[in-house]
Amino acid sequence: ITPASMTIVFLGITIGTIMTMSSSNWLMAWIGLELNMLAILPIISKPKTTRASEATTKYFLTQAIASTMMLLSSTINVWQTGSWSILELKNKFSTTIMALSLMMKMGAAPIHFWLPEVLQGTTLQTALLITTWQKIAPVTLMYMISNNIQPTILVSAGILSMIVGGLGGINQTQLRKMMAYSSINNLGWTITIMAFSPNMALMNIFTYIIMTTPIFLMMTNMSTKTLQNLSTTWTTSMTMTLSIALLMLSTSGLPPFTGFMPKMLILNELISQKLTTLATLAI
């Protein structure tokens, strides 16, 4: 891919996300997400391998299905309310379908199956892009409609994402798959608190993005793709290996690291909402 075409692709990804974030109309938000999706496909398929082609196809199909669900939801809502406005999503059926389509777009359980497979088939730089930048637009849309979504749906999907993310990462030796399950787990925390405190959910996802970015950048720098690689880099680059280890502990929410702060605030909010059982489950 030439530098000119790469510039166009990255411009498409950036404009698509900004268009979705700044729109107040479902059609414009949908167009932004489509532009974003079509722009990232050449990046995923850049390595000329069968794994990359497979990852591109999986990404395209899941995102296309999610976009179709999103369009269906907003169209049903227009029939009921006569408005394309994002804040006017009042129909319960539409809201549920929209919530599921946004969860599918960001890779939250129970529609998470594509995320570890896609990350495993791409380069570390592309994996970074999918786990950070590509989550901003769907999370923003969910934030905008969070008051209309039934809390039961958000909490159920959130708890399931936490369980899937926590258990799925245990049996992995591939770092990209581990980071995918870490992403699913973190989305679980974000979605759960979205029902009660949307601002806290945004803080959580952005803290996660800030912590994940240096992990991927250091793994790219050291060309580490498995746990075995990571254990052998200790002799050549002690500082970087130690930094990755500390950042990973931070993303898992271990005190006294930064990643513990949003999780502690989320647990505090859940307890203050008289959801002590839910807070215990999250822990």
* pLDDT recorded at residue 34: 95
Distance, CA of 44 to CA of 176 (rounded, Å): 14
* pLDDT recorded at residue 160: 94
What angle separates helix 198-222 from helix 124-131, to the nearest 10 degrees? 180
* pLDDT recorded at residue 233: 82
Q: Where are the domains of the chain?
A: 3-282
Distance, CA of 13 to CA of 67 (rounded, Å): 16
* pLDDT recorded at residue 282: 65
DSSP string for residues in the chain: --HHHHHHHHHHHHHHHHHHHH-SBHHHHHHHHHHHHHHHHHHHT-S-SHHHHHHHHHHHHHHHHHHHHHHHHHHHHHHHHS--BGGG---HHHHHHHHHHHHHHHT-TTS-THHHHHHHTS-HHHHHHHHTHHHHHHHHHHHHHTTTS-HHHHHHHHHHHHHHHHHHTTT--BHHHHHHHHHHHHHHHHHHHHTT-HHHHHHHHHHHHHHHHHHHHHHHHHT--BHHHHHHTTTT-HHHHHHHHHHHHHHTT-TTSTTHHHHHHHHHHHHHTT-HHHHHHH-
* pLDDT recorded at residue 270: 87
Amino acid 128 reads L
Tally of residues, the chain: 283
Both tokens of 168, joined, read 């799925």
Q: Alpha carbon of 5 to those of 2, 36, 46, 139, 231: distances in Å?
A: 5, 15, 12, 28, 37
Amino acid 208 reads Y
* pLDDT recorded at residue 238: 86
pLDDT, mean of each 10-residue run, the chain (283 residues): 88 96 94 95 92 96 96 94 90 94 94 94 95 96 94 92 92 92 95 93 96 94 87 83 92 90 92 77 65
Around Cβ 85, how many Cβ atoms within 10 Å? 13
Distance, CA of 266 to CA of 244 (rounded, Å): 25
* pLDDT recorded at residue 1: 65
